[in-house]
Amino acid sequence: MIFSFSLPALDLKDVNSKLSDIFNFGEDSNEGTTVFRSLNIPSGGRAESLGTAITGLCDDINFFDYNPAGSSILENSEIAFFHNAWIADSAMETLAGTLRFNNLGLGFQFKCFYVPFTEYNLFGDRLAGNYYSETSLAFNMAYNFFAGYDFRGLSLGYTVRTSWRNMPDYADNQTDKIQSGSGLEQSALAVMADLGLLMRFDFLKNFDSLDPNLTFGLALNNLGLAVTGFSTDFEFDDSLPSRISAGFSWRIFKNLLVTGEFRQPVNLMNFSSSQKFSLAAGTEITFTDSFDFEAGFMLSGGNPRFSIGSQFDLKGIKMNVNYTLDLTSSFNPVNHISLSARLLMGDRGRTKIRTLAFEKYAEGIGLYSKGDRQSIQQAIEKWIHAKQLYESIGIKFDPAIEAITTAQNLLTVHDQIRTFSSLETGM
């Protein structure tokens, strides 16, 4: 995209006006009242394929821009790269990584939105060429509390993020010479935080899986402030694109997932200037273990955005290709494509521990079914071992706990019967 400005004086409001086609999400009188609007651009990949209805899902590294609680429930540690060719010549590049230690999740994300920036004078001569960019660095931490086999826990998380808006230097009105430091005056630094929670459990589940099939999520995103005027006097910039999001995901069948989300932007500096709410929904169909198809829809203001994509394995790397038809960015349809590559780094042995625990649990059931006292005692030992294995990965193994209690009660009954029989014999 090439920006052409008529002098005199380049102003950030002029730039925001030029960027409106990129960031506008529907007809809204309050659109343009926030800064760092690249925070509203999805990184791409599976999240965008699902219409960005991710707040109540977050089962892969796409959680970063939606719900910070997600890092504590990811099955695998991940490293991922995203490229989103947005509108015209603008693009978003993202690098992210996560690491999970039982119920503790950690992560980082680096993302950069950039667009070519060219300035001309009144005669059409090219004066300056550079890039307008918004770059963010984020760190995440989350923990899954009360994790168990039946109730999968309450995940709470936060992400702290710092963002830098780089405005290129522009020319002097009289001499057409580049003014050193002129862009710095309108550049800005933002510091913000995301807060989120997730609850997961089984609901009307008709298939075998260790993963819960229903998840609810709530998130507060981009809560913070921005400052500008670095070459003159510091001052607060306009409000960041803060928002409140609530969503769910429900795996109705083993190969069918649906997601939904409600999103309300909030202008922290002037609540009356908050933008309109948006709605999003997505669906994912799993054809094989290595191929999924996704489709998504978002309605913001009066305009929709449609997305389709597919996720597939390529030599151990999860790839996603996404196509979006975006009617929220201008009166004419705008098409863009995103690509993502996710490298799964393993689960630090949690799957092996769960498998071994189930083997011990099944052995205990076999012993318990024999019914004699010695076999029941041996079954309890197996179940205690299974419970301890689950505890080593931070999960309460409810089936083993219930089985131990039942078996111990049965042994008590055995002892009472033996005592009663001895009394009768003595009499």
Question: If you write DSSP's letter for every residue of 166-183 in order, what string do you get?
Answer: EPPP-B-TTT--B-TTHH
Task: Read off the tokens for 222.
Answer: 């981009």
Task: Read off the tokens for 133.
Answer: 């960019």
Question: What pLDDT score was predicted for residue 12?
Answer: 52
352 Cβ contact partners less than 8 Å away, ≥ 6 residues apart: none
Give me the average pLDDT of each 10-residue run along the chain (427 residues).
38 51 50 80 90 93 94 94 82 94 95 80 61 93 92 94 86 62 81 96 87 94 90 81 96 95 90 85 93 92 86 88 77 73 91 92 91 88 94 92 90 75 59
| DSSP of 136-162 | EEEEEEEEEET-BSSS--EEEEEEEEE
Question: What pLDDT score was predicted for residue 231?
Answer: 67
Q: How many angstroms separate the CA atoms of 74 and 83, rounded? A: 22
Task: Assign 244 to helix, strand or coil.
Answer: strand
| Of residues 42, 24, 25, 37, the one with CA closest to residue 322 | 42
Find the distance separating the first CA and the last CA of the chain, reported in whole Å: 101
Task: Assign 395 to helix, strand or coil.
Answer: coil
What length is written for the chain? Answer: 427
| DSSP of 252-270 | EETTEEEEEEEEEEE-TT-
Question: What pLDDT score was predicted for residue 230?
Answer: 78
Task: Assign 26 to helix, strand or coil.
Answer: coil
| Of residues 219, 165, 195, the one with CA closest to residue 35 | 165
28 Cβ contact partners less than 8 Å away, ≥ 6 residues apart: 275, 276, 301
C-alpha angle with apex 207: 64 to 358, nearest 5 degrees?
A: 85
Task: Assign 361 to helix, strand or coil.
Answer: helix
Identify residue 162 by its one-letter amino acid code. T
| Of residues 93, 114, 98, 138, the one with CA closest to residue 339 | 93
Which residues, listed in sequence order, are joined to residue 284 by a DSSP beta bridge? 257, 294
Question: What pLDDT score was predicted for residue 10?
Answer: 45
| 214-228 vs 235-236, strand pairing mode | antiparallel
Spell out the domains of the chain, with CATH numbers in brackets: 12-344 (2.40.160.60), 350-426 (1.20.58)
Using the structure block, give the residue that is written with the tokens 């939105």: 113
Question: What pLDDT score was predicted for residue 25?
Answer: 42
Task: Read off the tokens for 357.
Answer: 């625990």
Tell the burial category of 369 from Cβ atoms under 10 Å away from its Cβ (0-12, 13-18, 19+). Answer: exposed
Question: What pLDDT score was predicted for residue 2?
Answer: 36
Identify residue 375 by its one-letter amino acid code. S
317-342 in b/e burial notation, b at 16+ Cβ within 10 A?
ebebbbebebbbbeeeebebebbbeb
